[in-house]
Amino acid sequence: MLKKRLIPKLLIKHRQMGNTVMPVLVTTRGYKGVRDVGDPVSQAKIYEANLADELIVLNIDSTPIAGDQLMLDLIERLASETLMPLAVGGGVRTIEDFGALLDHGADKVTINGAALTDPALITAAAGRFGAQCVVVSIDYRRGDDGAPRVFSGLTGETSHDPVEWARRAVDLGAGEIVLTDADRDGAGEGLDVELCRRVADAIRVPLIVSGGCGLAAHFVEGFEEGHAEGVAAGTFFCFRDQSPMQARAHIRNAGVPIRLEV
Amino acid sequence: MRPGTVRVGIVDYSAGNIQSIENAFDHIGARTQRVRQESDLEALTHVLLPGVGAFGFCVDKLRDTGLIPALERWALTEGRPLLGICVGMQLMADRGEELGVHEGLGWVGGVVRELRADPPCIRVPHVGWNDVRFTEEFGPFTAGSSADFYFDHSYALTAPTQGVALGLCDHGQEFTAAVRRGNLVAAQFHPEKSQSAGQRFLQGFLELSA
């Protein structure tokens, strides 16, 4: 049977180091509070050794990927130094950007702001590369009225409800949805399981949930109560005492089907 | 065949994750080169047909290269080793039903149809790690054994009419995860992304010789 996925999320920022600019792995809290971790490729190798099921790599500077040779080079290094499935995004605006990332070793491409400003891009990319390659990432936060609203770096806050936007993105051709609660990002206090389940139950494609994992039990909640196919986390995998293998064992012992060996 | 003596040609028709496949062969010590025209086949021991994209797009792109007769001679007439991956496998069917009906290469027969979604348990695309049961021995995999491989697809081959279903997988329904007709092998999953199991599968392919 299909296994549930544990997905480390590599957030990348461009950092000036002396005369050169380097891609650096960071973590965030509430999409702010950026904390540098180190070299993304070394960290990816550790994740591979710990049986990560795939990686999400996001350029959180969101510089347009078309002119971002640094990011393309990073993807090429990740693809050559690990043998893991890579979903890559941040700064993807056009169908040519999909092609460039796939040529450099990405397996899937995630779009966020561009899907909101140009929904036809979802359909065009699915027609060219297949729906399985097109991942729509949905970030939301709750306003003063408590209602979740979709936002992106490109559009700012929108009036979209995450459930409705996910359903529409799938109708347009998205093959996977990544749902992230920005308020819970990096807090380690658990996922927004209730909204996760509402989105998952509204769509036929796999849902990956992210934002808030601090314990192995939070992953279990995402799978069992949130109906997610994958749980992604950045901070959880970067800074913790328990090894990812112990987390996997805990999740497996809770009855969730996941890989334990290669 | 030892990895040092093989030379794998990867068909480059602008519809594949060639970089990832080159990397995977590099990890097991096999040399690769890209195949863009018939003369590129000359020095090769093995050929790999990748494929990422919609069926119709890929089959058109492959036809545009003019390589199909040469590949057919390589794989079917001469019986030399050829491995198709993902849509590279699907193209070997009689036809594909993705965004319209498209004629395939007919090398293994059968039809490529969309998997049926049945949420919340069965979602399509079928993405992630699923166990493949081998129906017969292939490289290090014994008949009856199974291993987890990485999948990322919405369409799958029903059943081959030529050759055998080498590996079977379940996702709401049973589908052909790998097929074999002599030295012609194809996989719906991505061995190049399947870590150790994937490397063992590629090694199994490199053990084939005409």
* DSSP tag of B3: G
Q: Is A201 on the interface with B (CB under 8 A)?
A: yes
CA distance B179 to B184: 8
Say yes or no to pLDDT of B66 above 90.
yes
CB contact under 8 A, A206 and B20: no
Q: Is A108 on the interface with B (CB under 8 A)?
A: yes
CB contact under 8 A, B54 and A128: yes
Contact between B166 and B185 (Cβ < 8 Å): yes
CB contact under 8 A, B123 and A205: yes
The amino acid sitting at B62 is: L
The beta-carbon neighbor of A3 closest among B23, B57, B148 is B148
Q: What is the pLDDT of residue B101?
A: 97
Per-residue confidence band for B144, with pLDDT thresholds at 50, 70 and 90: very high
Mean pLDDT of A248-253: 92
Per-residue confidence band for A178, with pLDDT thresholds at 50, 70 and 90: very high
* DSSP tag of B123: -
List residues of B whose CB lies inside 8 A of any A CB.
17-20, 23-24, 26-27, 52-54, 57, 87, 98-99, 117, 119-120, 123-131, 148, 150-154, 170-171, 190, 192-199
| pLDDT tens readout for residues B2-29 | 656 899 999 999 887 888 999 999 999 9
CB contact under 8 A, B124 and A205: yes
Say yes or no to pLDDT of A262 above 80.
no
SS3 label, residue A210: strand
Residues 6-45 of A with CB under 8 A from B: none
Chain A contact probe: residue of B112, B129, B193 with most A CBs at under 10 A: B129
Rounded to the nearest 10°, the torsion over CA B139, B45, B66, A129 is: 40
The CATH number of domain A5-253 is 2.30.30.240: no
High-pLDDT (> 70) share of chain A, %: 98
Mean pLDDT of B120-134: 96
What is the value of ipTM here, to two decimals?
Answer: 0.95
Mean pLDDT of B94-121: 95
Q: What is the pLDDT of residue A246?
A: 82
Q: Which domain holds residue B31?
A: 3-206
CA A211 vs. chain centroid, Å, equals 10
Nearest CA distance, A202 vs chain B (angstrom):
9
CA separation (Å) from A143 to A127, B51, B177? 36, 44, 47
CA A2 vs. chain centroid, Å, equals 20
Per-residue confidence band for A242, with pLDDT thresholds at 50, 70 and 90: low
| pLDDT tens readout for residues A46-60 | 999 888 999 999 999
SS3 label, residue B1: coil
SS3 label, residue B115: coil
E strands in chain A: 5-17, 20-29, 32-38, 55-59, 86-89, 108-111, 134-142, 148-152, 156-157, 176-181, 207-210, 230-233
CA distance B71 to B51: 15
The amino acid sitting at A217 is: A
Phi-psi sector, A38: left (phi>0), alpha (psi -120 to 50), beta: left
- Beta strands A134-142 and B155-157 are unpaired
Per-residue confidence band for A62, with pLDDT thresholds at 50, 70 and 90: confident
| Average pLDDT value over all residues in chain A | 94
For chains A and B, what is the number of CB pairs under 8 angstroms? Answer: 119
Q: What are phi and psi of A38, to 5 degrees?
A: 155, -145
Q: What is the pLDDT of residue A256?
A: 97
Question: Which two three-digit tokens encode residue B169?
Answer: 């997988």
Q: Which residues of B touch A169 (CB under 8 A)?
A: none
The percent helix, strand, coil of chain A (3-state, each to 5) is 35, 30, 35
Is pTM beyond 0.90? Reply is yes
SS3 label, residue A123: helix
Nearest CA distance, B139 vs chain A (angstrom):
17
CA A55 vs. chain centroid, Å, equals 8
Mean pLDDT of B182-202: 96
Mean pLDDT of B140-152: 97
Q: What is the pLDDT of residue A245?
A: 79
Q: What is the pLDDT of residue A69?
A: 94
* DSSP tag of B118: B
User: For chain B, how many residues are written?
Assistant: 210
B62: which residues sit within 8 A by CB, 6+ positions away?
B11, B13, B15, B68, B91
Which among B97, B40, B47, B58 has a CA at the least distance from the CA of B206?
A: B47
CATH number of residue B46's parent domain: 3.40.50.880
CB contact under 8 A, A53 and B154: no
Say yes or no to pLDDT of B151 above 60.
yes
Nearest CA distance, A105 vs chain B (angstrom):
5
CA distance A53 to B149: 10
Question: Which two three-digit tokens encode residue A257?
Answer: 């089907």
**What is the total count of domains within chain B?**
1
Which among A124, A102, A8, A14 has a CA at the least distance from the CA of A57?
A: A8
CA closest to A52 among chain B residues: B195
Q: Is A103 on the interface with B (CB under 8 A)?
A: yes
High-pLDDT (> 70) share of chain B, %: 98
CA closest to B172 among chain A residues: A1
Q: Is A132 on the interface with B (CB under 8 A)?
A: yes
DSSP B142-207: PTT-EEEEEEEESEEE---SSSEEEEEEESSSEEEEEEEETTEEEESS-GGGSHHHHHHHHHHHHT
The beta-carbon neighbor of B23 closest among A80, A176, A262 is A80
- Beta strands B95-96 and B111-114 are parallel
CB contact under 8 A, B152 and A128: no
CB contact under 8 A, A85 and B195: no
Per-residue confidence band for B36, with pLDDT thresholds at 50, 70 and 90: very high
CB contact under 8 A, A102 and B17: yes
Phi-psi sector, A79: left (phi>0), alpha (psi -120 to 50), beta: alpha
Q: What is the pLDDT of residue B166?
A: 98
Active site residues of B: 86, 190, 192
Q: Is A228 on the interface with B (CB under 8 A)?
A: no
Say yes or no to pLDDT of A26 above 90.
yes
Say yes or no to pLDDT of B158 above 70.
yes
Mean pLDDT of B40-65: 95
